[in-house]
Structure 1
């Protein structure tokens, strides 16, 4: 299993391509620039199986329909944000003067934590709300990485001043769901560089003293 980070759009939101040795792949958070992302998938001769969304803020969903329509694959999102793709007031796009960003409803709703299998991919879904009410993280245990969306960043945490955000809930999510992972686990964040659980336990100023 391998992963590739592709920053997309004006906010340079990290999209992740998670691929296996059979050229199948999952697309996590296709935030913008659908043509650029499709060109990369074609260049690598990958076969997308699904779109996974860590949450439905506008900068993470801008190319959802481009990818879904091109490859005829399902989109997964947590049930707590089932209406956000279609609603700029919920996904935040109407507040940032970047145009109203909408996508069609998700094809599949994530209703609980636990192991999920899509094709040959098996991973664990953690509910990690706080940045948004339906934020989730995708943990690929055997490969030692977790896609954490905007919950946890290198040296920082997600903002909580958007609809449904809650600072205390986010801090609890990080401590109860992410920091309990093996310290060597690589954290693939929604923005910026990757990090590790160990690094954030040792040096993240937002998590010290909890």
Structure 2
């Protein structure tokens, strides 16, 4: 990683003035943090819900982005697609600041209540600098006791009546994605990506393509393949993934179908920890 690359990374990380959400639909916006997206469901001046919460020490920037869109109105809840450090890191501070509940799939509960650790990152999967750094990424359990509740078993999403959550395991055992039928909008979490998640260059200079889940943290590739096929069968019109810019249109649809049909060749690393 050269010095220009490092300097740009630091500038992005520390500039609060750039913590501004991007609106993609009247009731959907996202804030692209350094490594992951947080998503806001709800139009300005209406009730809203936050999806995922970035890394630790990012809560000030997320607050800035949310207040830019909603003023001082807190969300009704925080919904987590899974419990990896880059999706859950600021959840506790945000939930305590706003005094709101956190929801996650029941199969992720042990990882966010101090009982289990995720497997360490796998640097052998290749693909870029982030894979190499993955061995130092946090995997220890968070402690959200008293703040976090398991999502309902019927697929409903608290406070979001037009949405359902879909079980999309593979990247983690309790990973979920969210889907809204009326406009076929998919919030994918890390079930798929729209940038190459293993590459730090892709973080700084994103090019839109449909990729599999971040390989360095994906636990079960057979389940991940079934998940991608399930998402392709939904035939979404727009995807907002945890990593990458939102995608829509025929190119996205073709790439998602191609990934589902050729998952082993396109997504599963040739070299990985057994």
| Local SS of the residue matching 1:123 | strand
Aligned pair 1:102/2:134, yes or no? no
Aligned pair 1:89/2:117, yes or no? yes
| Local SS of the residue matching 1:142 | coil
Q: In 1, distance between residues paired with 2:119 and 2:112?
A: 7
| Larger Rg, first or second structure (1 or 2) | 2
User: 1:92 and 1:18, CA in 2 relative to 1: closer, same or farther beyond 3 A?
Assistant: farther
The answer as to whether partners of 1:127 and 1:137 remain within 8 angstroms in 2 is: yes
**Deviation of the 1:50 alpha carbon:** 0.4
Aligned pair 1:159/2:186, yes or no? no
Q: In 1, distance between residues paired with 2:254 and 2:90?
A: 35
Structure 2, unpaired ranges of 5+ = 1-25, 122-133, 195-209, 264-274
Structure 1, unpaired ranges of 5+ = none
TM-score, with structure 1 as normaliser: 0.83
TM-score, with structure 2 as normaliser: 0.65
- Aligned-pair Cα RMSD in Å: 2.8
Q: More deviation in 15-24 or 97-106?
A: 97-106
User: 1:83 and 1:195, CA in 2 relative to 1: closer, same or farther beyond 3 A?
Assistant: same
The answer as to whether partners of 1:112 and 1:127 remain within 8 angstroms in 2 is: no
1:146 aligns to what?
186
**Deviation of the 1:187 alpha carbon:** 0.8
1:116 corresponds, among 151, 157, 171, to 157
Which structure has the highest strand share of the two?
Answer: 1
Aligned pair 1:13/2:36, yes or no? yes
* Aligned positions, number: 204
**Deviation of the 1:26 alpha carbon:** 0.7
The ranges of structure 1 where at least 4 consecutive aligned residues each deviate by more than 6 angstroms after the TM superposition are none
**Deviation of the 1:137 alpha carbon:** 0.6
| Local SS of the residue matching 1:179 | helix
2:224 corresponds, among 160, 166, 170, to 170
The answer as to whether partners of 1:124 and 1:138 remain within 8 angstroms in 2 is: yes
Q: In 2, distance between residues paired with 1:201 and 1:99?
A: 33
User: 1:64 and 1:91, CA in 2 relative to 1: closer, same or farther beyond 3 A?
Assistant: farther
